[in-house]
A and B are shown apart, each in its own frame.
Chain A
Amino acid sequence: GAGVSQSPRYKVAKRGQDVALRCDPISGHVSLFWYQQALGQGPEFLTYFQNEAQLDKSGLPSDRFFAERPEGSVSTLKIQRTQQEDSAVYLCASRNSGTDTQYFGPGTRLTVL
């Protein structure tokens, strides 16, 4: 596609539910990133993939957060047993290695009630 797409755009979950957020990167981009943006804050790094390999997951806030990219393209961020503090916008980006530039999707706004 022309850009990074994410789905759903909005997700409301009850506390304790599991959620899955999807990211479709720009075709051909090897690197994929997930960021979390809390209200009124700048995005913060969660995890990084190079192809299907998850090379850095140092930003994941707890073991309830899990990300995968099994075929090196689409990625899913899963949050188990959601908590209110998980409410945020989750941004996905893919990177053009030639220009060291990340291109961001529109984000998924997660609200945990």
Chain B
Amino acid sequence: AQSVTQLDSHVSVSEGTPVLLRCNYSSSYSPSLFWYVQHPNKGLQLLLKYTSAATLVKGINGFEAEFKKSETSFHLTKPSAHMSDAAEYFCVVSEGSGTYKYIFGTGTRLKVLA
């Protein structure tokens, strides 16, 4: 069965410093992996996705993630945090067959300090 583990429930960074949000996955086959962002009282917005093409995936708002099969990781990074990046971030694995339902991590709340 597929699963994802987000290693940090809260991350705080200063504005202008790098962001690293960690995610490890478990899957019996090559998975589809996603990062979504959820701002307060807003819907989930897709940041980026990995679907077995390039291992380094670039998303919106300067975010990117690298798929590392040997480490079963899909960490999200951004070179320089902006105040508007403060939100909840979810790492997601798609079941990939059958229903293609999403399995979400527990989320990482990113705080950006001025």
Instruction: Spell out A's residues near B (CB within 8 Å).
Output: 4, 31, 33, 35, 40-45, 48, 55-56, 59, 91, 93, 95, 99-107
Q: Tell me the minimal C-beta distance from B86 to chain A in angstroms.
A: 16
**Which B39-78 residues have a C-beta within 8 angstroms of A?**
42-46, 49, 51
Max chain A CB contacts within 10 Å: which of B45, B51, B90, B102? B102
A43/B104 contact (C-beta < 8 A), A91-B44, A100-B32 known: yes
- The CA-CA distance from A91 to B104 in the complex, in Å, is 13
How distant is the Cα of A45 from the Cα of B99 in the complex, in angstroms? 11
Q: Decide: B44 and A45 in contact? CB cutoff 8 A.
A: no
A48 contacts across to B, CB distance below 8 A: 99-101
Residue of B with least CB distance to A92: B43
Once A and B bind, how many residue pairs between them come within 8 Å at the CB atom?
Answer: 56
Distance of B41 from chain A, by nearest CB (Å): 8
What is the bound-complex CA distance between A88 and B72, given in angstroms? 31
In the assembled complex, B94 has its CB within 8 A of some CB on chain A:
yes
The reply to whether A35 and B51 contact each other, CB–CB distance below 8 Å, is: no
| Nearest 6 Cβ contacts at the A-B interface | A42-B104, A104-B44, A106-B43, A48-B99, A56-B99, A45-B101
A106 close to B42 (CB less than 8 A): yes
Bound Cα distance A59, B102 (Å): 12
Shortest distance between the CB of A70 and any CB in chain B (Å): 20
B102→A33 contact, CB < 8 A: yes
Chain B residues, Cβ within 8 Å of A44 = 104
Is residue B27 within 8 Å, beta carbon to beta carbon, of the partner chain?
no
Pairs A–B under 8 Å by Cβ, sample size 17: A35-B104, A40-B107, A41-B106, A41-B107, A42-B106, A43-B44, A43-B90, A43-B104, A44-B104, A48-B101, A56-B99, A95-B100, A101-B34, A104-B44, A104-B45, A106-B42, A107-B43
